[in-house]
């Protein structure tokens, strides 16, 4: 298994939402029906809000979120201007440093043959944005159980339908400690690619303007 991605980066953003970088990720696995064949068994859409860069360049992060979408507006409302329960949650986890970036996983289409590998996928995606960043997503983005999400370090933001993972903290599940090897132990049926494509097209489109 490998994860390939494409992204858009503006050296000098024209609009405020240019500080939010869209990423499309494809999870590619070996085919169970062809010796050298490969299958796209999952796709994810992740937006990365570069808070540190936006602030360094004199941008108001609230304006950046507002310019992008209602979804980002809601995320910023919950995270950047947190409620008292969320502040208590940060204190409980020992999160004393600021969050310099947030990765919002807002779209995921993963074939059922990958069900037991979802923790590895979401942990790996979160590690694309390491350091003092956080991964956030709405509940229901994935069919992982609350227990599985908790093992990845995700916690529900009090009063919100939002999951928050501080990437600087260690979690119970980490890919490096998983004894399985997806390069040899994981094979998926060819039909997975068609399923993923259909699911992806049925969801809202991302903001990519490239081919």
* Domain assignment of residue 119, yes or no: yes
3-class DSSP state of 98: coil
Domain membership flag for residue 207:
no
Lowest mean pLDDT among 65-79, 84-98, 194-208: 84-98
**Structural domain of residue 112, as residue ranges?**
2-202
Contact 2, 30 (CB under 8 A): no
pLDDT in tens, 1-19: 999 999 999 999 999 989 9
CB 100 within 8 A of CB 93: no
The total number of structural domains in the chain stands at 1
Taking the alpha carbons at both ends of the chain, their separation in whole angstroms is 24
Q: Is 210 part of any domain?
A: no
In-domain check, residue 91:
yes
Enter the tokens of residue 10. Answer: 């503006």
Domain membership of residue 183 (yes or no) is: yes
Asked if 131 and 167 touch (Cβ cutoff 8 Å), the reply is yes
Mean residue pLDDT of the chain comes to 88
Alpha-helix runs per DSSP H in 28-69: 51-56, 61-68
Q: Is residue 153 part of a domain?
A: yes
Closest CA to 191 of 45, 63, 31: 31
Which pLDDT band holds residue 208 (cuts at 50, 70, 90)? very low
Examine residue 62 and state whether it is found in any structural domain, yes or no: yes
* Distance of alpha carbon 72 from alpha carbon 45, whole angstroms: 14
Question: Helix, strand, coil proportions of the chain in percent (round to 5)?
Answer: 35, 25, 35
In a domain, 211, yes or no: no
CA pair distance 112, 195, nearest whole angstrom: 9
Q: With cut-offs at 50, 70 and 90, classify the pLDDT of residue 29.
A: very high
């Amino acid at each position: 298994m490998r994860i390939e991605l494409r992204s858009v980066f503006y050296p000098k953003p024209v609009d405020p939402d240019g500080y939010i970088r869209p990423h499309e990720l494809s999870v590619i696995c070996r085919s169970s029906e062809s010796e050298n064949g490969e299958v796209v068994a999952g796709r994810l859409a992740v937006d990365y809000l570069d808070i540190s860069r936006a602030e360094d360049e004199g941008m108001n992060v609230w304006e950046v979120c507002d310019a992008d979408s209602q979804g980002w507006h809601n995320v910023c409302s919950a995270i950047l201007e947190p409620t008292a329960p969320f502040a208590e949650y940060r204190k409980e986890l020992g999160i004393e440093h600021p969050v310099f970036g947030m990765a919002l996983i807002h779209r995921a289409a993963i074939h059922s043959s990958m069900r037991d590998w979802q923790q590895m996928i979401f942990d790996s995606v979160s590690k694309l944005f390491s350091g003092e960043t956080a991964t956030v997503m709405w509940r229901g983005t994935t069919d992982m159980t609350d227990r599985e999400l908790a093992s990845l370090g995700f916690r529900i933001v009090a009063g919100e339908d939002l999951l928050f993972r501080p990437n600087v903290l260690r979690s119970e599940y980490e890919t490096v400690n998983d004894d399985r090897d997806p390069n040899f132990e994981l094979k998926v049926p060819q039909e997975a690619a068609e399923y993923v494509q259909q699911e992806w097209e049925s969801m809202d489109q991302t903001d990519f303007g490239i081919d």
